[in-house]
């Protein structure tokens, strides 16, 4: 729709001119998005800014906070696949933004400015401008707890601006050499503004002061005040991105007790992941640029493999977050094996390791390792092996439970408004593919018990075998190159 409106306004030549800036394309690759063309607008009557190009792109809140937005279509609940923890929040964010979702409370933007080949440019100021009031957005509230966009990792800290009048502008000094680019991120906040907004950059070129507008492909960005609470305390504390949708039910919280857990293919302490697919994937080709920023290349590869149907292989760690209104609770927890696939056809392995990854890393003793192939567990207080038999087959484990917390008394850590505690563990599979969920019971000192099932939005998590005992047909592992 925006493209059609822009075309109708006669902006096609400007777009073709912008595409010609190879430097902008390089900056866009660094930001991990194909940014829409920015239209140049100027505060003073100085004429066009010759050769300067600026582009902008909305992002999730890239600081690990809670990104929330309202999709302004009543009854348009987020599809289930966009809410899978194992896929992160990218699917939900793309679904919401494609439907005109309005960010609530905070908004983040990545931008890039390119100087012409023969002239340097100096950015001297950044300003957020409030536009027209928008209608109150109504529809499905969606969000992501722990929202982080790894494609902007390594960039400077965001410039923080406020639409409520407290800090609407910031003085900076950022030179851009001839033919070069500079970029960054902006973190915009509001508690009162139901409004359109955009960003203005004060630049100096050839001694002349100019103002460049950064917006969303020629249209203003939008924001509304914060929505009512969408996530529980456990959702906010857990470090993995957790997709949320009010239309599919509020986060599970019972009597002040909440439990949230997630599996992560990154090996504990390693910064290395391994995934498996049914068909080959050009994972390196999907990275989208020769990037030296730690964590970005691996994150993009993982996104490409996940989009191709990839599932975690060999090992996954989990962080089980428990919150309660009291300091001490008793916890029973187990991994429930739902299904086992032996001889699975998924035989293409792809992996990536961040700089500094060590092959000789040893897991700490307090890590609770669960080995699904033998129903064996290490490190559970009051627990131990449920079964260890060299003749036992993985298929015999269907429907079984492996304890990783057996009537364990936990002292929770004090938070400003609650008590919480993490239980870390590792789940391993080497001979077959397993689907599993986490079953947790939290008992309060009063004797009240709360029961929780932790899964992937109603479906079990899935873990494929590693390469040690079940060699794949194709195995490609890469290590990021990190030069500073």
Determine the average pLDDT of the residues in 73-85.
82
Residue (of 315, 270, 284, 115) closest to 205 by Cα position? 115
Residue (of 403, 363, 397, 368) closest to 382 by Cα position? 403
> Do 225 and 157 form a contact (C-beta atoms < 8 A)?
no
Give 207-243 pLDDT, tens digit per residue: 899 999 999 988 999 999 998 888 877 777 777 788 9
Residues 6+ apart with CB under 8 A from 378: 368, 369, 370
> Do 123 and 172 form a contact (C-beta atoms < 8 A)?
yes
Task: Report the pLDDT value the prediction gives residue 126, as an integer from 0 to 100.
Answer: 95
Task: Report the pLDDT value the prediction gives residue 152, as an integer from 0 to 100.
Answer: 62
> Do 448 and 462 form a contact (C-beta atoms < 8 A)?
no
E strands, 134-194, are: 140-145, 159-162, 169-176, 181-189
Residue 143's DSSP bridge partners are: 68, 244
SS3 state of residue 38 = coil
Q: For the sheet containing 159-162, what is the strand order?
A: 53-59, 106-114, 181-189, 159-162
Residue with tokens 């292989």: 313
Let me know how many helices (H) and strands (E) the chain has, helices first. 6, 29
- DSSP string for residues in 200-253: EEEEEETTEEEEEEE-BTTB-EEEBPPPSP-S-HHHHH-SS-EEEEGGG----E
pLDDT at 327 over 90: yes
Task: Report the pLDDT value the prediction gives residue 343, as an integer from 0 to 100.
Answer: 74
> Do 266 and 317 form a contact (C-beta atoms < 8 A)?
yes
- 384 versus 116: the higher-pLDDT residue is 116
Give 425-480 pLDDT, tens digit per residue: 889 998 899 999 999 999 999 999 999 999 998 899 999 998 888 888 888 888 77
Token pair for 371: 């080995």
* Alpha carbons 449 and 470: distance in angstroms, whole number: 41
> Do 262 and 242 form a contact (C-beta atoms < 8 A)?
yes
Residue (of 260, 262, 409, 257) closest to 323 by Cα position? 257
- Percent of the chain whose predicted confidence (pLDDT) is above 90: 33
Token pair for 13: 């030549």
Q: How confident is the model at residue 292 (pLDDT cuts 50, 70, 90)?
A: low
Q: Phi/psi at 452 (nearest 5 deg)?
A: -135, 145
Task: Report the pLDDT value the prediction gives residue 207, as an integer from 0 to 100.
Answer: 86
Task: Enter the pTM of the model.
Answer: 0.78
- 363 versus 13: the higher-pLDDT residue is 363
> Do 69 and 103 form a contact (C-beta atoms < 8 A)?
yes
Return the DSSP state at 225: P
Average pLDDT score, the chain: 79
Of the candidate ranges 229-243, 289-303, 364-378, 415-429, the one whose mean pLDDT is the lowest: 289-303
Residues 6+ apart with CB under 8 A from 22: none
How far from the centroid of its chain's Cα atoms is residue 336's Cα? 27
pLDDT at 365 over 50: no
Kindly list the distances between the CA atom of residue 162 and the CA atoms of 126, 135, 168, 385, in Å, as whole numbers in the listed order. 12, 20, 5, 55
Buried/exposed 296-320: b ≥16 CB within 10 Å, e otherwise:
bbbbbbbbbbbebebbbbbbbbbbb
* Alpha carbons 216 and 256: distance in angstroms, whole number: 41
Give 7-36 pLDDT, tens digit per residue: 334 433 333 333 333 333 333 333 333 232
> Do 113 and 53 form a contact (C-beta atoms < 8 A)?
yes
* Angle, alpha carbons 159-161-163 (nearest 5°): 160
* Alpha carbons 286 and 310: distance in angstroms, whole number: 14
Token pair for 436: 């599993």
């Amino acid at each position: 729709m925006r493209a059609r409106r822009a075309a109708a306004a006669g902006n096609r030549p400007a777009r073709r001119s912008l595409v010609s800036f190879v430097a902008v394309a390089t900056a866009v690759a660094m930001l991990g998005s194909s940014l829409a063309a920015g239209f140049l607008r100027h505060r003073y009557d100085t004429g066009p800014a010759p050769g300067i190009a600026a582009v902008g792109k909305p992002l999730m809140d890239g600081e690990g906070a809670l990104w929330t937005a309202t999709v302004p279509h009543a009854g348009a609940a987020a599809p289930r696949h966009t809410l899978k923890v194992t896929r992160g929040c990218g699917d939900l964010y793309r679904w919401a933004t494609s439907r005109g979702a309005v960010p609530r409370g905070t908004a983040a933007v990545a931008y890039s400015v390119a100087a012409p080949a023969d002239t340097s440019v100096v950015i001297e100021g950044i300003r957020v401008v409030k536009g027209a009031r928008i209608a109150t957005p109504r529809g499905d509230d969606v969000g992501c707890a722990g929202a982080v966009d790894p494609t902007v990792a390594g960039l400077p800290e965001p410039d923080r601006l406020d639409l409520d009048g407290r800090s609407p502008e910031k003085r900076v000094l950022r030179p851009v050499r001839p033919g070069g680019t500079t970029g960054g991120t902006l973190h915009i906040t509001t508690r009162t503004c139901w409004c359109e907004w955009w960003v203005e950059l004060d630049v100096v070129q050839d001694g002349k002061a100019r103002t460049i507008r950064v917006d969303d492909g020629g249209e203003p960005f939008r924001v509304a005040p914060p929505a009512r609470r969408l996530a529980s305390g456990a959702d906010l504390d857990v470090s993995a991105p957790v997709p949320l949708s009010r239309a599919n039910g509020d986060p599970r919280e019972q009597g002040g007790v909440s439990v949230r857990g997630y599996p992560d293919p990154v090996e504990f302490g390693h910064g290395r992941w391994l995934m498996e697919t049914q068909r080959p994937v050009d994972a390196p080709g999907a990275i989208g640029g020769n990037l030296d920023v730690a964590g970005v290349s691996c994150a993009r590869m993982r996104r490409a493999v996940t989009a191709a149907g990839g599932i975690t292989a060999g090992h996954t760690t989990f962080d089980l977050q428990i919150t309660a209104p009291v300091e001490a609770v008793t916890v029973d927890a187990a991994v429930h094996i739902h299904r086992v696939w032996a001889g699975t056809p998924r035989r293409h392995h792809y992996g990536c390791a961040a700089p500094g990854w060590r092959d000789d890393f040893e897991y700490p003793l307090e890590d609770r390792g669960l080995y699904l192939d033998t129903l064996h567990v290490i490190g559970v207080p009051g627990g131990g092996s449920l079964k260890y038999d060299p003749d036992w087959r993985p298929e015999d484990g269907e429907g079984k439970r492996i304890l990783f917390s057996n009537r364990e008394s936990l002292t929770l850590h004090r938070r400003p408004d609650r008590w919480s505690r993490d239980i870390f563990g590792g789940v391993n599979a080497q001979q077959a593919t397993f689907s599993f969920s986490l079953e947790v019971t939290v008992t309060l000192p009063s004797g009240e018990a709360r029961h929780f099932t932790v899964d992937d939005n109603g479906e079990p998590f899935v873990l494929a075998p590693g390469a040690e005992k079940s060699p794949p047909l194709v195995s490609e592992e890469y290590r990021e190159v990190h030069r500073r």
